[in-house]
């Protein structure tokens, strides 16, 4: 019988984490692709393995949601600590984002000198530490118990952060780092684009602190690719790969699910699809209206995967900041991830390298086939040439395999054009999607739902969702 307590649609970070927490339930997880992990998957092409996106794994430490969830799932990941979280390179000058605060400040004072550097970054670090010490963090709607938990979380936040809650990132930067140079501003904003999908212009101070602070935590490299995390988390879960969900019909006490292979029933459905795309799964007018009320986040990634033949030693992560936006991109930086030299899977035939930058999702969709190839080549060639300029020990002949991906590629393999949701700002905080929907038994999880981007943000949302479905 294809009857289940919980059906999870999508094996991205959110779908995998919530499934790993509920192995005691009659649960099924569907994944359209042959690889688990969505935007965080690892795939094979022509004998080489690559990560689909940037590969920093952060938050695996005591008293953080990710470590808590992994522990509950009884899974210890195969990881190694990156002593330098990221080397940021701008105009041939480098800053190493390291956990040790004094070492980091000494480096900042040399590259981005400002009399208030220590004050600024100490405030950022302190606010981040306060956030991760919160005990009642919760955000959900459409249920009395959910509203009460959310209200308690708001009270705790106001007690802990006081007036800092109402301060904007921009005003804090201007007050503390007055006279900040364009280079320094780009250093800050380029990192924010990676972590919270926006710049300092419209976000609160707390978001600024969280977005800039993750290198003050332990940052890890995942051996055998990011996809190995999902394989480990889901080892005891009923996973159906290569099975796309086509339609979901709400009935009186359950949801009827139609896939590319079969038909199922589930009392609860958790969608790891983006909030903007979820409406397409339903014919029910009320459900479609609910999902269609959320405007599309027109932001995605342009990704290049390389295999490089080199004996040089590289860090795991770099960020290269330019003076202006890259062609066909909405960012003036790109992120580079190198596989570890001793990674027997990813580095079998040479370094596996993933380069990514931000791009509008719908830009690539509207192009003709010929123009798509032309613009893709323009962006790819520009990034490769700049990459080789910043890694002078490498030459073009060292690149033995190369291919790139746009939002069209992501749509083909993981069924979504955009990557990441809308950042939480002053303007949209009350409209932030909740894991709980107005429809009994229907939930959402992932990077387009509270609390947002990356492993830590999605993990917070998973802990909230787990409370909601097990209330």
For the chain, 471 residues long, give each residue's pLDDT as a single digit of tens.
Answer: 699 999 999 999 999 999 999 999 999 999 999 999 998 999 999 999 999 987 899 999 998 999 999 999 999 999 999 999 999 999 999 999 999 999 999 999 999 999 999 999 999 999 999 999 999 999 999 999 999 999 999 999 999 999 998 899 999 999 999 999 999 999 999 999 988 888 999 889 999 999 999 999 999 999 999 999 999 999 999 999 999 999 999 999 999 999 999 999 999 999 999 998 899 999 999 999 999 999 888 889 999 999 999 999 999 999 999 999 999 999 999 999 999 999 999 999 999 999 999 999 999 999 999 999 999 999 999 999 999 999 999 999 999 999 999 999 999 988 888 887 666 665 666 778 999 999 999 999 999 999 878 899 999 999 999 999 998
φ and ψ at 243, to 5 degrees? -135, 105
Using DSSP's 3-state secondary structure scheme, residue 221 falls into strand
Domain with CATH 3.50.50.60 in the chain: 3-41+59-76+222-296+434-469
Which H or E run includes 356?
strand 351-359
Whole-number Å distance between alpha carbons of 13 and 100: 28
Tell me which CATH code domain 3-41+59-76+222-296+434-469 carries.
3.50.50.60
Whole-number Å distance between alpha carbons of 68 and 60: 8
Q: Which residues of 132-163 are buried (b: 16+ CB within 10 A; e: fewer)?
A: beeeebbbbebbeebeebbeebeeebeeebee
Q: Name the residue among 96, 138, 104 with its Cα closest to residue 121.
A: 104
Using DSSP's 3-state secondary structure scheme, residue 316 falls into coil
Could you give the residue ranges of the DSSP H alpha helices within 177-218? 182-196, 205-213
Whole-number Å distance between alpha carbons of 447 and 459: 9
Whole-number Å distance between alpha carbons of 211 and 462: 19
Whole-number Å distance between alpha carbons of 299 and 301: 7
Whole-number Å distance between alpha carbons of 370 and 374: 6
What is the CA 344 to chain-centroid distance, rounded?
26
Residue 343 · residue 290 · CB < 8 Å: no
């Amino acid at each position: 019988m294809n009857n289940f307590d919980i059906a999870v649609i999508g094996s991205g970070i959110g779908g995998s984490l919530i499934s790993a927490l509920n192995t005691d339930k009659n649960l099924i997880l569907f994944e359209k692709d042959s690889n688990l992990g969505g935007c965080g998957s690892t795939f094979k092409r022509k004998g080489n393995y690559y990560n689909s996106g940037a590969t920093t794994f952060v938050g695996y430490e005591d008293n953080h949601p990710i470590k808590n969830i992994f522990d509950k799932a009884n899974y210890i990941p195969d990881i190694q600590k990156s002593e330098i979280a990221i080397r940021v390179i701008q105009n041939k000058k480098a800053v190493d984002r390291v956990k040790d605060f004094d070492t980091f400040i000494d480096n900042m004072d040399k590259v981005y000198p400002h009399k208030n550097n220590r004050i600024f970054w100490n405030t950022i670090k302190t606010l981040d530490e306060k956030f991760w010490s919160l005990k009642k963090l919760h955000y959900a709607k459409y249920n009395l118990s959910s509203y009460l938990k959310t209200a308690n979380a708001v009270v705790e936040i106001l007690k802990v952060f006081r007036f800092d809650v109402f301060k904007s990132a921009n005003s804090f930067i201007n007050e503390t780092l007055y006279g900040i140079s364009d280079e320094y501003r780009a250093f800050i904003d380029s990192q924010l684009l990676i972590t919270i999908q926006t710049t300092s212009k419209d976000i609160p101070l707390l978001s600024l602190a969280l977005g800039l602070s993750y290198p003050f935590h332990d940052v890890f490299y995942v051996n055998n690719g990011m996809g190995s995390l999902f394989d480990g988390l889901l080892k005891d879960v009923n996973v159906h790969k290569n099975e796309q969900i086509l339609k979901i019909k709400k009935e009186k006490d359950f949801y009827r699910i139609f896939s590319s292979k079969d038909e199922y029933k589930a009392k609860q459905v958790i969608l790891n699809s983006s909030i903007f795309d979820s409406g397409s799964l339903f014919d029910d007018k009320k459900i479609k209206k609910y999902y269609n009320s959320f405007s599309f986040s027109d932001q995605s990634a342009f990704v290049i995967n390389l295999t490089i033949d080199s004996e040089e030693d590289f860090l795991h992560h770099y960020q290269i900041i330019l003076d202006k936006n890259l062609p066909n991109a909405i960012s003036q930086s790109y992120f580079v991830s190198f596989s570890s030299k001793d990674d027997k899977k990813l580095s079998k035939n040479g370094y596996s390298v993933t380069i990514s930058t931000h791009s509008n999702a719908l830009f690539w969709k509207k192009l003709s086939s010929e123009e798509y190839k032309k613009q893709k080549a323009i962006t790819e060639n520009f990034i490769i040439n700049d990459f080789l300029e910043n890694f002078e020990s490498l030459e073009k002949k060292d690149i033995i395999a190369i291919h790139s991906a746009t939002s069209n590629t992501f749509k083909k393999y993981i069924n979504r054009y955009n990557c990441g949701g809308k950042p939480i700002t002053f303007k949209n905080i009350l409209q932030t999607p909740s894991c709980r929907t107005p429809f009994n038994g229907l939930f959402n999880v992932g990077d387009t739902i509270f609390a947002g981007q990356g492993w830590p943000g999605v993990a917070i949302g998973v802990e909230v969702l787990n409370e909601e479905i097990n209330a």
